Amino acid sequence: MSLFFTAFLVALITWFVATAMPMFLRWSCYFGGPLVAGLVMGLIFGDVTYGLKVGATIQMAYFGLIAVGGALPSDLALAGYLGTALAMSVGLEPSAALTVAVPLGALGLLCFNARMTLNAVWVHKAETYAKEGNIRGVKAMNLFASQLFPILTYFIPSFITIYVGSQGLVKFLAYVPDVFVKALSVTGGLIPALGIGMLLSYLWKKEYAPFLFIGFILSAYLKINIIGIAVLGASAAIFFAFQKEKEVV
């Protein structure tokens, strides 16, 4: 696949997931952007296993990300789809991919905020149509006009990042000393602590703290995988829900 076509495809997917995808699908494909991108970009770049590992590694950093009231701490379409694609196009180790994705996610907030500001224009246009009783006009504003600015703020930067950025990054990486690459990989291993830490502060309740340690021991000592822990956790949750009900009655 030519670089031009790859860049086009990556940019198209990034824009689509960020703003145009039906909302019921966007819940999973946006908030799990990096994880899903691992598979999608794996197929595009022809190495699914590599893609999955890169995507899953990036996803860990954004594990506990919660968007409330239209405010986002980081843009997951750019960190996920563009980040995975950029890391794969220069052949980065999965553990070092985060160092590409995290800055992209932060820059992505610019794309996000730009379209959140500009798109207000279409509501005013829709208001004019509403006053004329023009249902079709109102629909067209929501369905089509709404995508004009996102194409400018998501598609174009993503295209440039892959088309120009990947070649520049390859040259740059050739000059980076080994200890630096090693440090990137070590940091990449630590970053999931941020995502999981964000989630922990959201869920935190002193009385339930023992369950955190039970989960930790199940994994660290007994090597039970996440599905096993989820089933045990669900059992505990159901048990305690009924226990509480009895107390109330």
Partner 1 sequence: MSEQVGKQKKKLTRKQLIKTWLTWISFAQMNYNFERLQGLGYCHAMTHPIKALYEKSEDIKSALSRHLIFFNTESTWGSMIVGITCALEEENANNPDMDPSIINNVKTSLMGPMAGIGDSITQGLVKVVLLAIGIDLAIQGNALGPILYVLLFTLYTVGLSYILFFQGYKMGKSAIINLLSSNVIDKATDALKIMSLMIVGGLSASMIRAKSALVFTLGKTVVEIQPILDNIFPKLLSLGALFLAFYLLKKKEKSPTYVLGVLFVVGFVGTFLKVLG
- Stretch 53-72 residues interacting with partner 1 (CB under 8 A): 53, 55-57, 59-60, 63-64, 66-70
Which residue, 118 or 163, is less far from partner 1 as judged by CB?
A: 118
Minimum CB distance to partner 1 smaller for 148 or for 163: 148
Query: Quick check: 10 and 43 in contact, CB under 8 A?
Result: no
Give the whole-angstrom CA distance, residue 145 versus residue 29: 23
Site stretch for partner 1 (CB under 8 A), options 8-16, 126-134, 153-161, 164-172: 126-134
- Residue 91 sits in the site that holds partner 1 (CB under 8 A): no
Binding status of residue 177 toward partner 1 by CB under 8 A: no
Residue nearer to partner 1 on the CB measure, 163 or 195: 195
State which residue, 9 or 116, has the beta carbon closest to partner 1.
Answer: 116
107 binds partner 1 (CB under 8 A): no
3-state secondary structure the chain: CCHHHHHHHHHHHHHHHHHHCCHHHHHHHHHCHHHHHHHHHHHHHCCHHHHHHHHHHHHHHCCCCCCECCECCCCHHHHHHHHHHHHHHCCCCHHHHHHHHHHHHHHHHHHHHHHHHHCHHHHHHHHHHHHHCCHHHHHHHHHCHHHHHHHHHHHHHHHHHHHHHHHHHHHHHHHCCHHHHHHHHHHHHHCHHHHHHHHHHHHCCHHHHHHHHHHHHHHHCCCCCHHHHHHHHHHHHHHHHHHHHHHHC
Within residues 222-241, the interface with partner 1 by CB under 8 A covers 224-227, 229-230, 232-234, 236-238, 240-241
Pick from 8, 9, 12, 39 the residue near partner 1 by CB under 8 A: 39
Does 163 participate in binding partner 1 (rule CB under 8 A)? no
Q: Which listed range, 3-11, 30-38, 81-89, 160-168, lies at the site for partner 1 (CB under 8 A)? A: 30-38
Under rule CB under 8 A, how many of the chain's residues touch partner 1? Answer: 114
Residue of 2, 174, 175, 202 interacting with partner 1 (CB under 8 A): 202
Nearer to partner 1, 173 or 181 (CB): 181
Q: How far apart are CA 116 and CA 206, in angstroms?
A: 38
Decide if residue 129 touches partner 1 (CB under 8 A).
yes
